Structure 1
Amino acid sequence: MNFENLLVSKNNGIAQITINRPKKLNALNKVTIKELHEAFDVLESDLSVKIIIVTGSGDKAFVAGADISEFAHFSIEEGASLARAGQEMLFDFIENLATPVIAAINGFALGGGLELAMACHFRIASDNAKMGLPEVSLGVIPGYGGTQRLPQLVGKGKAMELIMTAGMVPAEEAKECGLVNHVVSQEELIPLAEKIASKIMRNSSVAIAAAIKAINANFQDGVNGFDVEISAFGECFGTEDFEEGTTAFLEKRKPNFSGN
């Protein structure tokens, strides 16, 4: 895959997407959002890919926000269209991928950058990372799901404070409030992501996809997450991975999952 603003690599079941706009601190523009969608879509269809890691190039920024110059003069209708298109094309798309996505936050994750990280299934950060949603300082609010996903992760009160102050939190504080799972040095960030990915890959990919679907259902309006869990749980009984997993357990050996 060749992209203008992304680097994509694959190794032993792990794919890495690196947002590569270092002069712009990896800010999201229309082209980058479109390319990210295309990259995730292709990797989701690649049966050899079991985990996707997304990070930023350099050591300063994961994604330092959206490219403000692209929408500074938008009308009300254009602004709403921008948010809707971005959510559907990328942020909701990532959240609902069957392939687990880890955000490796290697520096500033601000505005659309933090929204991108929050759309991933979970996040790890380097100790120099700083995160925030500064949109109200520009006279606007987060538009790529930030007002919805941040409260889910850190609670309503903390989300209200972070959004209304337009402040940034350092990596350790982000860990304390549940925004990220782990904090390590810059040098350890990708190795840790790969270590976690390796642990995930030992398990059934079909069961993991079902778990992602069930967990996400709890946050969808009008959807009973318990019913989704019951249905997905039952469907697992019809998979080859369930037969292999239970047989391996009874035979006291490691399972060899096929992903079917």
Structure 2
Amino acid sequence: MSYQNILLEKESGIAKLSINRPKKLNALNRETLGEIHSAFAELETDDEVKVIIITGSGEKAFVAGADISEFADYSVEEGKNLAAKGQKEVFDRIANFKKPVIAAINGFALGGGLELAMAAHFRIASDNAKMGLPETSLGVIPGYGGTQRLPQLVGKGRAMEMIMNAGMIDAKQALQYGLVNHVTSAEELMELASKTAHKIMRNSMVAISRAIEAINANDEDGVNGFDKEVENFGKSFDTEDFKEGTSAFLEKRKADFPNK
């Protein structure tokens, strides 16, 4: 499938999805969100793809926010529909995706851009990255999960401060806060993301998928995360990966998982 606002490259089990609107600092408009949705539908059914890396095109921005010009004149109902559709079709889909999703933050990640990065399962940033949720400076609040995911990652107090002051933090501070997992140079960012993806792929992708589901269950209303963990732990015993993993351990060799 061809895309106008994103680039999708696949190699050695890794899919690299780049937001490709560099003249707009990769700002998210409706068309781009629709393409991200379509790309993840494609990646979900591609058995060759094991890990997805999301990044931004160019050297300045991961995603510098949403395209404000598209919703400046929206009504209350239109605003609610915009947030609901975006969360359901893109941000929540990424957060609950069965394959690992890594955000490689290569510059500004602001507003919807930081929300996109936070929807990924974890984040790696270049040392020139800047992150923030500036929505309150526009008279609005984060609408793509920012008020929920930021407190989960950095704590309620820091999230309150970041959203209220609408400012930016640098990569070093984001690492200190726990917002990102690793910081590296801009030149080494994609190499580190790729190395991390390959390290993940050495393990059972079936087990990883079930671990993602169990971890996310803790955030769902009415769902007991411990119960989901018990359920998915039990399911693991009926997989070829479990048989291969335990056999390899007992035979003191590296496992060659069939991912079944």
TM-score, structure 2 as length reference: 0.99
Q: Which residue in 2 is equivalent to 1:70? A: 70
Measure the CA separation in 2 of the matches of 1:150 and 1:6: 25
Amino acid at match of 2:43: L
Q: Which residue in 2 is equivalent to 1:29? A: 29
Shift of 1:150: 0.1
Shift of 1:129: 0.3
Which secondary structure state, in structure 2, belongs to the residue aligned with residue 192 of structure 1?
Answer: helix
Shift of 1:24: 0.2
Q: Which residue in 1 is equivalent to 2:88? A: 88
Q: Which residue in 2 is equivalent to 1:128? A: 128
Shift of 1:181: 0.4
Percent identical across equivalent pairs?
70
Measure the CA separation in 2 of the matches of 1:132 and 1:220: 25
Q: Which residue in 2 is equivalent to 1:162? A: 162
Which secondary structure state, in structure 2, belongs to the residue aligned with residue 124 of structure 1?
Answer: strand
Measure the CA separation in 2 of the matches of 1:15 and 1:181: 20
Measure the CA separation in 1 of the matches of 2:130 and 2:163: 14
Shift of 1:137: 0.3
Which secondary structure state, in structure 1, belongs to the residue aligned with residue 123 of structure 2?
Answer: strand
Shift of 1:208: 0.1
Shift of 1:45: 1.1
Shift of 1:125: 0.3
Measure the CA separation in 2 of the matches of 1:190 and 1:37: 23
Q: Which residue in 1 is equivalent to 2:146? A: 146
1:84-108 deviations in Å (ceiling 9; x for gaps): 0000000000001111000000000
Per mean C-alpha deviation after superposition, the further-off stretch among 43-52 and 144-153 is 43-52
Q: Which residue in 2 is equivalent to 1:249? A: 249
Measure the CA separation in 2 of the matches of 1:187 and 1:37: 29
1:38-60 deviations in Å (ceiling 9; x for gaps): 11111121100010001000110
Which secondary structure state, in structure 2, belongs to the residue aligned with residue 109 of structure 1?
Answer: strand
1:100 aligns with 2:94: no
Amino acid at match of 2:61: A
Which secondary structure state, in structure 2, belongs to the residue aligned with residue 74 of structure 1?
Answer: coil
Shift of 1:145: 0.2
Measure the CA separation in 1 of the matches of 2:249 and 2:57: 42
Amino acid at match of 1:121: H
- Where does 1:184-195 land on structure 2 (aligned, <5 Å)? 184-195=184-195
Which secondary structure state, in structure 2, belongs to the residue aligned with residue 17 of structure 1?
Answer: strand
Which secondary structure state, in structure 1, belongs to the residue aligned with residue 141 of structure 2?
Answer: coil
Amino acid at match of 1:217: A
Measure the CA separation in 2 of the matches of 1:174 and 1:133: 13
Measure the CA separation in 2 of the matches of 1:142 and 1:220: 20
Q: Which residue in 2 is equivalent to 1:45? A: 45
How many residues are treated as equivalent by the alignment? 260
Alpha-carbon RMSD across the aligned residues, in angstroms, is 0.5
Q: Which residue in 2 is equivalent to 1:208? A: 208
Q: Which residue in 2 is equivalent to 1:5? A: 5
Over 4 Å off, 4+ runs = none
Amino acid at match of 1:86: G
Shift of 1:219: 1.1
Which secondary structure state, in structure 2, belongs to the residue aligned with residue 8 of structure 1?
Answer: strand
1:222 aligns with 2:233: no
